[in-house]
Structure 1
Amino acid sequence: MPYGQEYVDLDVTVPHEIIAPAKVKAGNESEIIKQALEEPIGMESFASYAKKSDKLLVLVNDATRPTPTSKVLKELHPVLKDHPNVKFLIATGAHRGPTEDELRYIFGDFLEDFRNNIYVHDARKDEDMVYLGESSNGTEMYLNRLVTETKNILVIGSVEPHYFAGYTGGRKSFLPGVAAYRTIEMNHMHALSDKAAPLALEGNPVAEDMEDAMKVLKDLRVFSIQTVLTAEHGLYAMIAGDLKLSFDLAVKRANEVFCTPCNKTGNIVLTVAPYPMDIDLYQSQKALENGKLALENGGIIILVSKCRDGVGDDTFLKLLCCAQTSEDVMKKIAEGYKLGYHKAAKMVQIGMHAQMWAVSDLDTDTLKMARLKPHTDLQETFDKAIDATRAAGKEPYAVILPQGSLTVPLLK
């Protein structure tokens, strides 16, 4: 099982199935990237696009995503280094800014070449935002002014299923990527909807908001690069060109990798947040959401995550601390939504029907506040889950997701 950047052995002696991304083969990275750039969908080649752009802004993901940004930049470097006016904006959403190590993870060998032109989006800096209109769901669209000032935008993203936005990638680079905190908060409030689910785009209010953001940005010239990775972060596919067309095709390729048939629900589900999605508890919760799709009512779900940076945004944790019951949590949310409350709502929904355990470097008190039963040793924890299941009069059946943050179980 992945744990941080290492692996931990797990001996499984009960009936089980392993639900993991499909064993697709990574191709030749350089060839895949070159072909995508030379044959973009619905647009001219990137070299031609860049030549016609007096100013160019490159939106890149932060280090919570496994996007192979540096590998893409390697192919783009000859064009970008000669461009007279190019800037980079790290689309952090509401996350913190990157550390020096994370900057190197994102930009690789090209960090020093571009360092003076790299900007980090800060959703809380209202002076950096510009108002662009309102979505059909009532979300006020405030985005980083660098976007509208530059107008020529290169987006480098990665597409995989997302537990309430349907999928990452594409339009997500703009909202929440470079949106104001209030805009992200209004958008994420829609995550409370039952229609906000993995693989859901049509009728999903979160995804619809993101589409609306692109409608108010219709005057931009966007060149999109969307990557699809294997579970081991190798490059499976890359589609370049028009933002929507490249995203739609990347979604189809992502489904080939991350949607996995599941024979039946388990009374034990072990779900791992692998590196780099194990950065904190806030991000790791996605592994719980995917894992619950394979969980039997009354079962035990075990989250495995190092949580290298601790909790992350602790708004959801504060809500869980001050609420005694799941009803209290939902009542508090109804009184006034804050960004992060959707995490609390999702966690109490699981807790109403199952036990939630965790194997993590987080301290015991923090895990308890998050309604997670704390554990430290993976094998011991799994064995205890087996004993508890038998004590409840059930024959143990385990569903194991070694890449829980990225795997969507599809029950047959």
Structure 2
Amino acid sequence: MKTHVLYGKSEVEVNVPDDSTVIEPQTIDAIDDYTSTIQNVLRNPTGSKPLKELVKSDDIVSIVISDITRPTPNHILVPLLIEELNHVPRENFVIINGTGTHRDQTRDELIQMLGEDIVDSVKIVHNHCNEKESLVKVGHSKYGCDAYLNKEYVESDFKIVTGFIEPHFFAGFSGGPKGIMPGIAGIETIQTFHNAKMIGDPRSTWGNLEDNPVQDMAREVNTMCKPDFMLNVALNKDKKITAAFGGDVFEAHKEGCAYVKEHAMFKCEDRFDVVIASNSGYPLDQNLYQTVKGMSAASKVVKENGNIIMVSECADGFPDHGKFAEIFKMADTPQGILDLIHDPNFSEVDQWQVQKQASIQTFANVYVYSELTDQQLKDSMLNPTSNIEQTIAELEKQYGCKLSIGVMPQGPLTIPYVEDEE
């Protein structure tokens, strides 16, 4: 059976046995007239007055967007927001790129994300989590840290957060409050949000919102300086809009998560010996750091001591910024990495993603088909593969039997689960 797994901006064809299970969300057609759909959400929002009625003509309006690692259609959402608020001068808008701990975007990347007209006519700032002067303390979290948010956002008169909703491996779902926390937060706040206890909590997992400590902290920080309006969308595998949700950041987000969960869940009868998974293609598979999300999704349905084969381009490397690659050099085994991270005196940027990867590696073997070198993957305690079918054949020879195989062409856009384990 030929399957096509998302890889970068294209696909990789993988031949698997005919009795393999293809794990993917329901097929959802894109909305033909997304402009009307989004305008309707702005004018008939959930838990809020219509957007235009909320904004005065002299307000400074901040619009928080997702950075280039997310497929949020900013080039659609932002112009429609500005058009809806046509009584506000362009110079009164500020777009805040929610980079969290990620790098700034280049001008070309911003044009790709927003369009040249927006880039040339609207003020754009990047969140710099390490620059205290660009942040404002908005409160103290019950999770033990001060909450710092982007100064441009805090000081604006009207605050809008955009994003897209998909299953998330420790926040339950993306979008909504996560656009603010960690999108435009300070490093101290982000490190608490992503610390070993929070990430290691079994409630911090795919599709779970209500008793999830990560989601709870995101909501808590949002209440300290709440967005006045949220605009989120759901996307299909082609990154096209299938639904839009707007209004109150908590109510509208909850509505959107229910929609995504209904379409993303996939029941498996049992766990698999081998799970082949994409990282949803570009832009999520730009680097190994983001690829941990696909590994996590696959780990939900792989057998203990089984095998995950990640198909993720990683054209941007580890990436080069941050401490992701460096932390892997601090121990010799995945368990050694976990022991290091759980030391109360250990605190490094990106440790949360390393923790997730190492946890998966103590449970299953992980192979990666990518643009990374074999040495780069080995340095991350991963097994390189340049031929997926050959790797499967070698595993069958090693096990001495036919292996059960699951394929996740869309990667973490699906929430797979084994019914008896839920």
- Same fold (TM > 0.5): yes
Paired AA for residue 147 in structure 1: Y
Is contact 2:275–2:308 with CA below 8 Å preserved after alignment? yes
Gaps of 5+ in 2: none
State the match for 2:177 in structure 1. 171
Deviation at 1:386, TM superposition (A): 3.2
State the match for 2:25 in structure 1. 21
**CA 1:316 to 1:119, structure 2 compared with 1: closer, same or farther past 3 Å?**
closer
Partner of 1:164: helix, strand, or coil?
coil
Distance 1:314 1:370 in 2: 14
Deviation at 1:314, TM superposition (A): 4.8
State the match for 1:372 in structure 2. 382
Distance 1:104 1:386 in 2: 44
1:195-220 superposed Cα distances (whole Å, 9 cap, x missing partner): 21111222222111111102212xx5
Is contact 1:70–1:107 with CA below 8 Å preserved after alignment? yes
State the match for 1:343 in structure 2. 353
Is contact 1:195–1:205 with CA below 8 Å preserved after alignment? yes
Paired AA for residue 285 in structure 2: D
Distance 1:53 1:397 in 2: 62
Is contact 2:171–2:215 with CA below 8 Å preserved after alignment? yes
Of the structure 1 ranges 43-52 and 55-64, higher mean CA displacement relative to structure 2 is found in 43-52
Deviation at 1:82, TM superposition (A): 4.6
State the match for 1:60 in structure 2. 65
Partner of 1:8: helix, strand, or coil?
strand
State the match for 1:131 in structure 2. 137
Of the structure 1 ranges 106-115 and 198-207, higher mean CA displacement relative to structure 2 is found in 106-115
Paired AA for residue 315 in structure 2: R
Gaps of 5+ in 1: none
The answer to whether the aligner puts 1:381 opposite 2:388 as a matched pair is yes
Alignment of 1:191-202 (within 5 A): 191-202=199-210
The answer to whether the aligner puts 1:4 opposite 2:8 as a matched pair is yes
Is contact 1:70–1:110 with CA below 8 Å preserved after alignment? no
The answer to whether the aligner puts 1:40 opposite 2:45 as a matched pair is yes
Is contact 1:139–1:209 with CA below 8 Å preserved after alignment? no
Is contact 1:80–1:86 with CA below 8 Å preserved after alignment? no
Partner of 2:366: helix, strand, or coil?
strand
The answer to whether the aligner puts 1:304 opposite 2:311 as a matched pair is yes
State the match for 1:277 in structure 2. 284
Paired AA for residue 194 in structure 1: P
Is contact 1:157–1:226 with CA below 8 Å preserved after alignment? yes
Paired AA for residue 215 in structure 1: T
Partner of 2:222: helix, strand, or coil?
helix
Distance 1:193 1:144 in 2: 28
**CA 1:161 to 1:318, structure 2 compared with 1: closer, same or farther past 3 Å?**
same
Of the structure 1 ranges 163-172 and 387-396, higher mean CA displacement relative to structure 2 is found in 387-396
Distance 1:80 1:369 in 2: 50
State the match for 1:108 in structure 2. 115
Is contact 1:139–1:187 with CA below 8 Å preserved after alignment? no
Paired AA for residue 50 in structure 2: S
Alignment of 1:147-158 (within 5 A): 147-158=153-164
Is contact 2:101–2:128 with CA below 8 Å preserved after alignment? yes
Distance 1:221 1:384 in 2: 48
Paired AA for residue 328 in structure 2: L
**CA 1:53 to 1:177, structure 2 compared with 1: closer, same or farther past 3 Å?**
farther
Is contact 1:143–1:178 with CA below 8 Å preserved after alignment? yes
Of the structure 1 ranges 258-267 and 86-95, higher mean CA displacement relative to structure 2 is found in 258-267
**CA 1:78 to 1:151, structure 2 compared with 1: closer, same or farther past 3 Å?**
closer
Deviation at 1:341, TM superposition (A): 1.6
Partner of 2:416: helix, strand, or coil?
strand
Distance 1:112 1:178 in 2: 19
Is contact 2:171–2:205 with CA below 8 Å preserved after alignment? yes
Is contact 1:316–1:342 with CA below 8 Å preserved after alignment? no
Deviation at 1:109, TM superposition (A): 4.9
Is contact 1:271–1:403 with CA below 8 Å preserved after alignment? yes
Paired AA for residue 340 in structure 1: D
Partner of 2:411: helix, strand, or coil?
coil
1:8-43 superposed Cα distances (whole Å, 9 cap, x missing partner): 222223521111121012223122112111211122
1:252-306 superposed Cα distances (whole Å, 9 cap, x missing partner): 1111232222232111111111111011111111100001111011211111111
Distance 1:143 1:42 in 2: 24
